[in-house]
């Protein structure tokens, strides 16, 4: 019997750690799986997904820029995916693709279980309104935050995410230009390329946004997160974290969706963190 096939679909994907993470989970649990990479542009996504299914693909993770398109390609959606409107985990069924989203649970698990964060009652700033921001926002609300302010370069996308969340008492869309009048935040989450080397330019964010003992997370990881976390350090942030832990935790949740077993994440996280040479909690 051939080894069940799984993959990450995105563009670009050559840099991804996902195959290594899932290989570690497979060894740990004794579950056979072949996890590869499929590089597909937005125009190629539908054809790439169809070819993967025809070749016996059992499940896939989805990354930029396809999370919204993946949701539209599904025959069914989990409650989590329906709430956030995007999909990062696909499972092949007898009638088509079933979609789920594990990003939010992955982020909350990393913040609470690994970094000791208590999210209850915290005022949170979410920078970005793309696929990753959609994925994490509902889980943050479920974790008990008191308020979620969303800013993005495109106001219409900010408003669309706020409308989707359907919690006007706690969710507030704002423009970057308004941030200097919005007070301070206990937790700031960067779900964009702002501060990354490829983005260029200065950060359009006042450091006065960081509350005393406030924390900052960049959902990128490794070198991509250095610029934003340096901004946070200069602004006096307490804990500064990158997205490596979220990457590992959301992968574990996807593995559980596919196999009904949630692997331990500590060993592979520690291995990847040591190799990165970067400390993300200060």
Q: Can you say which residues are annotated as belonging to the binding site?
A: 16-18, 63, 79, 88, 103, 128-132, 152-157, 219, 221, 243, 250
Q: Which residues of 52-82 are buried (b: 16+ CB within 10 A; e: fewer)?
A: beeeebbbbbbbeebbebbbebbeebbebbb
Q: Is 51 a catalytic residue?
A: no
pLDDT tens digit sequence for 35-93: 999 999 999 999 999 999 999 999 999 999 999 999 999 999 999 999 999 999 999 99
CATH of domain 5-101: 3.40.50.10860
Q: What residue spans define the domains of the chain?
A: 5-101, 104-244
Q: What is the pLDDT of residues 167-186, one digit of tens each?
A: 999 999 999 888 989 999 99
CB atoms within 10 A of CB 47: 10
Look at phi and psi of residue 98 and say left if phi exceeds 0, alpha if psi is from -120 to 50, else beta: beta
pLDDT score, position 281:
46
Annotated binding site for shikimate: 16-18, 63, 88, 103, 221, 250
Same fold, 5-101 and 104-244: yes
List the binding residues for NADP(+).
79, 128-132, 152-157, 219, 243
CA distances (Å), 199 to each of 63, 225, 245, in order?
A: 19, 11, 23
The band of 153, judged by pLDDT with boundaries at 50, 70 and 90, is confident
Query: What is the tens place of the pLDDT at every residue in 108-130?
Result: 999 999 999 999 999 999 999 99
Q: Which of 67, 109, 122, 259 is catalytic?
A: 67
Distance CA 141, CA 124 (A): 10
Q: CATH number for the 104-244 domain, one of 3.40.190.10, 3.10.20.30, 3.40.50.720, 3.40.50.2300?
A: 3.40.50.720
């Amino acid at each position: 019997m051939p080894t069940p096939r799984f993959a990450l679909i995105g563009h670009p994907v050559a840099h991804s750690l996902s195959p290594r993470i899932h290989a570690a989970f497979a060894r740990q649990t004794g579950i056979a799986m072949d996890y590869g990479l499929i590089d597909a542009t937005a125009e190629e996504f539908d054809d790439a997904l169809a070819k993967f299914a025809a070749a016996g693909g059992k499940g896939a993770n989805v990354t930029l820029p396809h999370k919204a398109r993946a949701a539209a390609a599904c025959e069914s959606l989990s409650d989590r995916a329906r709430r956030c409107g995007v999909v990062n985990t696909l499972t092949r069924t007898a009638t088509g693709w079933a979609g789920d989203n594990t990003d939010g649970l992955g982020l909350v698990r990393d913040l609470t279980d690994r970094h000791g964060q208590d999210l209850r009652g915290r005022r949170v700033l979410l920078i970005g309104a793309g696929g990753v921001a959609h994925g994490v926002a509902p889980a943050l609300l479920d974790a008990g935050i008191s308020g979620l302010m969303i800013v993005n370069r495109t106001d219409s996308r900010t408003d669309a995410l706020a409308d989707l969340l359907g919690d006007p008492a706690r969710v507030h869309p704002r423009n970057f230009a308004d941030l200097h009048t919005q007070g301070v935040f206990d937790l700031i989450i960067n779900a964009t390329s702002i501060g990354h080397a490829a983005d260029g330019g200065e950060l359009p964010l006042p450091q006065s946004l960081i509350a005393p003992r406030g924390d900052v997370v960049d959902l990128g990881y490794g070198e991509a997160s250095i610029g934003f976390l340096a901004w946070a350090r200069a602004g006096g942030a307490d804990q500064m974290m990158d997205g490596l832990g979220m990457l590992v935790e959301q992968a574990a949740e996807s593995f559980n969706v596919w196999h009904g077993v949630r692997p331990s994440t500590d060993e592979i996280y520690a291995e990847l963190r040591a190799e990165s040479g970067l400390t993300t909690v200060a």
